[in-house]
Amino acid sequence: MDRVRDVVTLNTGKNIAVINIVVVDDEADTHLLYKLKFKKLFADIDELHLTSFLGADECLNYLKKEEPPQVDLILSDINMPKMDGFELLSQIRRLKKEIPVYIVSAYESLEYRSKAEALGAKRFISKPVDFRALGDMLKEDFNW
């Protein structure tokens, strides 16, 4: 059964801003990596809420809450058991959620990139994630 892996709030105390990011990946180590890298990336942000899920269905349940949480960005792996990242993205769009989604994959292919774009992904990122480049993308897309 999928479950919430982690909810982390990093308080840096510099600027008054809150960013809410959801990470969906079936590899538990990936969540720790994002937590550590984001702490550095968002050093100038007052609060970063990082919510992590090991499976897409748990992420969908989170988004379907009666009082939906504020989510600024979803980072989703593609290859996961039960429901892959493409299906998650489709379901998010069916919910009429316009949350930006970055699809992350160890499989770099034009087919995957094209499918992610067709489904409405804001970005396609190859693994291993280059966190410096990810930081640049976030600055460009969100002015963070």
CB atoms within 10 A of CB 124: 18
- Tell which residue, 90, 112, 111, 109, has the closest CA to residue 101: 90
Q: Residue 44 CB: number of other CB atoms within 10 A?
A: 10
With a cut of 90, say whether residue 129 has pLDDT above it: yes
Here the CATH number for the domain that contains residue 120 is 3.40.50.2300
Least confident of 12-16, 85-89, 107-111, 117-121: 12-16
**Structurally, how many domains does the chain consist of?**
1
- Taking 50 as the threshold, does the pLDDT of residue 3 lie above it? no
What is the distance between the alpha carbons of residues 64 and 28, in angstroms, rounded to a whole number?
23
Share of the chain above pLDDT 90, in %: 70
The residue range of the domain holding 131 is: 4-142
